[in-house]
Amino acid sequence: MKWYDLNARELPWRSTKNPYHIWICEIVLQQTRVEQGKNHYLNFIERFPEVKSLAYAHTDEVLLYWKGLGYYSRAINLHTAAQQIMTDFNGIFPNHFEEILKLKGVGKYTAAAVASICFDEKIPAIDGNFYRVLSRIFADDFDISSSKAYQYFYNLALLIMPDERPGDFNQAIMDIGSEVCKPKNPNCEVCPVRDNCLAFGIGNVQDFPLKSKKVKAQDLKLHYYHIRYREEFLIKQRDDSFIWKKLYDFPEKIPSHFEKWITHEKTIHHKLTHKNLEIVISEVVLDNKKEFQKFSEENHFIITNYEESHLKSFPKPLENFLKKEFEES
DNA sequence: AACCCGGGGAG
DNA sequence: CTCCCAGGGTT
């Protein structure tokens, strides 16, 4: 705690105990580096300053403010949870761990973070940093990819968690994990708990934490049709399954008599954490406005143009594709 | 308990 | 290339 008082990172959400702000911050930062999420957080709370404005917003706009962050179910769940607070909690942000946990998209970690930071509940917020710092301090080779890891390290954390300032304690562990006890090349020389760290004593800090599960990316091919009439083209909204939940993309099928209007194809290779994508985009240029509108109406596609498409959230590779198309023309 | 879900930066 | 990030939901 002494180290934290002197070395805490200066971050936008460190100066508030507003549970709405802390909640948004915690969701943004799930599996996301602080530097990557900081601006999204600031933009988000500026546009949606309290629960009500988020609850009453259109899903498309919530997704727009989430554009590029990934794990889009977080945005969908955030929107749902805001409405949940309006209906189930009378618009007042819940102030106990068990109630916060009921919010869609809020798991044990996030509920613990909000409860400890905003409401001073003594509950460890076990995130990736906590796993790493604890497993090194105790030289503990408990597999953090095990489904029992959370409960195991939760109990371990209680052994060293003070009664005072639980929120600051949780954030102190995060800062040590992020700035000192890093996954690679930890900076043990300046670590405030070095003398109490068993792994450091043994000299094998790099061996912790133990993580057995390794996920391999799978290959996936997608075929899109960029169907154009003059400056306009067709888009659709994805469903909430599979990848890129609720984001917008292009039609994936065309009637066979459209094939003669294919002018060229472009292949994009895009790497995701769990997938290696090969995306083929066929350019279909129609000279017949009636065909264009008929096809659009029959399949419930949306007619848009480059400027208008900025009001929708597209997957990263498709956004890059549109940008290049526009710059070339 | 296993599996799925993005995008980005570091090494 | 691999690993990991202020995890959670679904099956």
Q: Which nucleotides of C are covered by protein (CB under 7 A)?
A: 3-9
What is the 8-class DSSP label of residue A179?
A: I
Residues A80 and A175 in one domain: yes
Alpha carbons A81 and A64: distance in angstroms, whole number: 18
Residues A222 and A198 in one domain: no
Strand B contact at CB of residue A244, distance < 7 A? yes
Question: Residue A12 CA to chain centroid, in angstroms?
Answer: 18
Return the closest nucleotide (C1') to the Cα of A183: C4
A113 — phi, psi (to 5°)?
-65, -50
Assigned domain for A203 exists: yes
Helix, strand, coil shares, percent, chain A, to 5: 50, 15, 35
Is the pLDDT confidence value at A213 over 90? no
Alpha carbons A28 and A126: distance in angstroms, whole number: 16
- Distance measured from the CA of protein residue A131 to the C1' of nucleotide C7, in angstroms: 13
Contacts of A258 (CB under 8 A, 6+ apart): A225, A227, A284, A286, A295
The pLDDT tens digits of the residues spanning A270-314 come to 999 999 999 999 999 999 999 999 999 999 999 999 999 999 999
The closest alpha carbon to A231, from A157, A306, A174, A293, belongs to A306
Residues A88 and A224 in one domain: no
Residues A139 and A26 in one domain: yes
Q: How many helices (H) and strands (E) does chain A have?
A: 14, 6
Residues A203 and A222 in one domain: no
Specify whether the CB–CB gap between A200 and A206 falls below 8 A.
no
Q: At A15, is the pLDDT very low, low, confident or very high (cuts 50, 70, 90)?
A: very high
Return the closest nucleotide (C1') to the Cα of A275: B6
Alpha carbons A122 and A161: distance in angstroms, whole number: 8
A252 — phi, psi (to 5°)?
-110, 0
Quick one: what percent of chain A has pLDDT higher than 70?
A: 100
What domain range includes position A230?
Answer: 218-328
- Distance measured from the CA of protein residue A128 to the C1' of nucleotide C3, in angstroms: 13
Residues A67 and A173 in one domain: yes
Residues A311 and A163 in one domain: no
Strand B contact at CB of residue A33, distance < 7 A? yes
The pLDDT tens digits of the residues spanning A234-277 come to 999 999 999 999 999 999 999 999 999 999 999 999 999 999 99
Assigned domain for A60 exists: yes
Assigned domain for A213 exists: no
Mean pLDDT of chain A: 97
Q: Check residues A215 and A295 and name the one with the higher pLDDT.
A: A295
Residues A114 and A133 in one domain: yes
CATH number, domain with residue A117: 1.10.340.30
Average pLDDT score over residue span A132-152: 96
Can you tell me whether residue A105 is helix, strand or coil? coil
The pLDDT tens digits of the residues spanning A163-175 come to 999 999 999 999 9
Assigned domain for A21 exists: yes
- Protein residue with the closest CA to the C1' atom of nucleotide C6: A29
Average pLDDT score over residue span A28-40: 98
Element housing A275 (H / E): strand A275-286
Residues A131 and A7 in one domain: yes
Domain count along chain A: 2
Specify whether the CB–CB gap between A231 and A164 falls below 8 A.
no
Assigned domain for A34 exists: yes
Assigned domain for A212 exists: no
Helix axes A149-160, A128-137, angle to 10 degrees: 60
Active site residues of A: 26
Other beta carbons within 10 angstroms of residue A225's beta carbon come to: 22
The pLDDT tens digits of the residues spanning A190-208 come to 999 999 999 999 999 999 9
- Distance measured from the CA of protein residue A178 to the C1' of nucleotide B10, in angstroms: 13
The pLDDT tens digits of the residues spanning A97-123 come to 999 999 999 999 999 999 999 999 999
Return the closest nucleotide (C1') to the Cα of A245: B5
Residues A199 and A56 in one domain: yes
Residues A165 and A283 in one domain: no
- Distance measured from the CA of protein residue A308 to the C1' of nucleotide C1, in angstroms: 38
Q: At A329, is the pLDDT very low, low, confident or very high (cuts 50, 70, 90)?
A: confident
Strand B contact at CB of residue A250, distance < 7 A? no
Residues A170 and A236 in one domain: no
Can you tell me whether residue A183 is helix, strand or coil? coil
